Amino acid sequence: MKQRFILALLIVFAGFASCKDDTEVVQAPVISGLENGYTVLENAELKLTPTIKNDNNSTYIWQLDGKEVAKTLDYVFVQSTPGYYKLVLKVANKGGVDEKTISIIVESKEMRFETTTHSLLLLELPEYMKGNENIEWKIVETASEIYRFSQMTGVETPMFIAAKEGKYLLQVSSGDLKEIVSIVVTKATEEPSPYIANVFDYLPAPGQFVNKMPQYEAGDTHADMVVKVAEALVGEDASIITLGGWGGYVTFGFDHTIVNVAGRRDFRIEGNAYANNSEPGIIMVSYDANRNGKPDDEWYEIKGSANFGAENEEWYQSAVDHGNDVNTYRNFEMTYYKPKGETPEEVGQEGTGTDGAYIDDYIRWTNNKGKEGYKVKNKTHTQSYYPLWESENKITFKGIRLAQNGVDESGQGSFFILKSFNCGYADNHSNIDDGSAIDIDWAIDKDGNKVNLPGIDFVKVYTGVDQENGWAGENSTEIGKASNLHMLGKSINTINK
């Protein structure tokens, strides 16, 4: 009987043991040992060795951007294309599934560009950043200070230019993506000239030196006169030409891009200004955006000290007291009409004009401010003041008209002084004065907004003041040599405007 009881207990115990084995709970796997994100260089191996808790007969699946790439516990990630990658590890057993998502940034070892000195380089984004928002560039290391990184409003591709050879390092980033950009600048095959290389156009307004500087000869055409202006202005040994009265202009260019160096003035335009004899010319600049070597891209205005008003000029009150028109007109138009003749008799006047003039009512003019009148011919210069190569009977000019800076100190028309404006004009300060040097960073667009030009290739200058100064004649801008200050080793600090 006792043996039967023991046997029964053994059977019951075995039954309990059997039930316990059948209902044992298997714990789900837990992944550890992996970071949420990694950053590696292109073609660099990243070995991922996760630790799995409750790794009971588990299966492993690695997915890269949604595509299965491995079924092993460990995984080696390597990519040759920079960008963002999403890597997912899934571990499963009878107890459940765990999943780990890893973000991996693959950076380029170095993005490399090559260019030559004084040449604009367009900096294309790496393919994996194109279309991204919040793109940021910064300068890491430069071979010299004579360079410019420029991001122009409305221009998608930033630009870089340097005047000195060497390696320049930049960084471009978008969020967590970062890339080093290496720019190797080598010397240009042909050494550029610091001075004017080309003249593209020339049309003076009527003035006492027109047809003399340069000399007009019967039969000369517009093209002939442009050639003569080029003969005068190109190179180091330039001579003076006249732009005549208000609006008369010349357009010229360099054989390279003048670098817009931060904090420094970049170029100089010489004239024949001296103390109390300033005949300022408005300066317009442009860079060769379409790379065709022609001045047919957008023009930008160098914002001179009185382009929006002369109230801060030191001579302003004196000009007001002498009855000058001290207004600044930013959308001024003036039309000059070809004269009826070149002598008093030909224009219907008896003898000579008043106040020493040869002809009082010489060249008729009108402007878009409702004013009209005549330009005077003086006794000193009796040739035609109207550009004789122009076949039309009238010429119209448009632009900014500055405040009248000529003051008659004598009160009788015999002693005019023409005070200099503060800065930003041609033929405004003497050629050795820092005031004759121009900073490209003074440039503004047609709406008056400051622009971030990389440099300039072309310049247009036109006479900025419309005023008669007695025996001294009209305000007429004269210009001569223009030069790249950086190539000449000149370092002139700018004025913040």
pLDDT tens figures, 433-461: 999 999 999 999 999 999 999 999 999 99
pLDDT at residue 340, as a whole number: 92
* Planar angle of CA 365, 371, 374, nearest 5 degrees: 35
Burial pattern 184-217, b for ≥16 Cβ within 10 A else e, equals: ebeeeeeebbbbbbbbbebbbbbbbbbbebbebe
Tell me the percentage of the chain whose pLDDT exceeds 90: 77
pLDDT at residue 178, as a whole number: 84
The predicted model scores a pTM of 0.84
Pick the range with the lowest mean pLDDT from 8-17, 77-86, 260-269, 286-295: 8-17
User: How far apart (Å, rounded) are the C-alpha atoms in residues 441 and 330?
Assistant: 20
pLDDT at residue 471, as a whole number: 80
Pick the range with the lowest mean pLDDT from 294-303, 333-342, 349-358, 419-428: 349-358
Cα separation values, 317 from 273, 278, 326, 474, Å? 22, 17, 9, 21
pLDDT at residue 356, as a whole number: 66
The fold of 111-186 is Immunoglobulin-like (2.60.40)
Q: What residue spans in the chain does CATH classification 2.60.40.1080 cover? A: 111-186
The fold of 30-107 is Immunoglobulin-like (2.60.40)
Pick the range with the lowest mean pLDDT from 81-95, 193-207, 261-275: 81-95
pLDDT at residue 131, as a whole number: 82
Instruction: Check whether 414 has a pLDDT greater than 80.
Output: no
Q: What residue spans in the chain does CATH classification 2.60.40.10 cover? A: 30-107
pLDDT at residue 42, as a whole number: 85
Token output for 81 = 């294309």
Give residue-wise pLDDT tens across range 106-129: 887 778 999 999 999 999 888 778
Burial pattern 109-118, b for ≥16 Cβ within 10 A else e, equals: eebebebbbb
Burial pattern 422-455, b for ≥16 Cβ within 10 A else e, equals: bbbbbbbbbbeeebbbbbbbbbbbeeeeebbbbb
pLDDT at residue 8, as a whole number: 42
Give residue-wise pLDDT tens across range 31-52: 999 999 998 888 889 999 999 9
Tell me the percentage of the chain whose pLDDT exceeds 70: 94
pLDDT at residue 410, as a whole number: 76
SS3 category, 452: coil
pLDDT at residue 497, as a whole number: 67
- Mean confidence (pLDDT) of the chain: 91
Cα separation values, 385 from 382, 402, 479, Å? 8, 22, 18
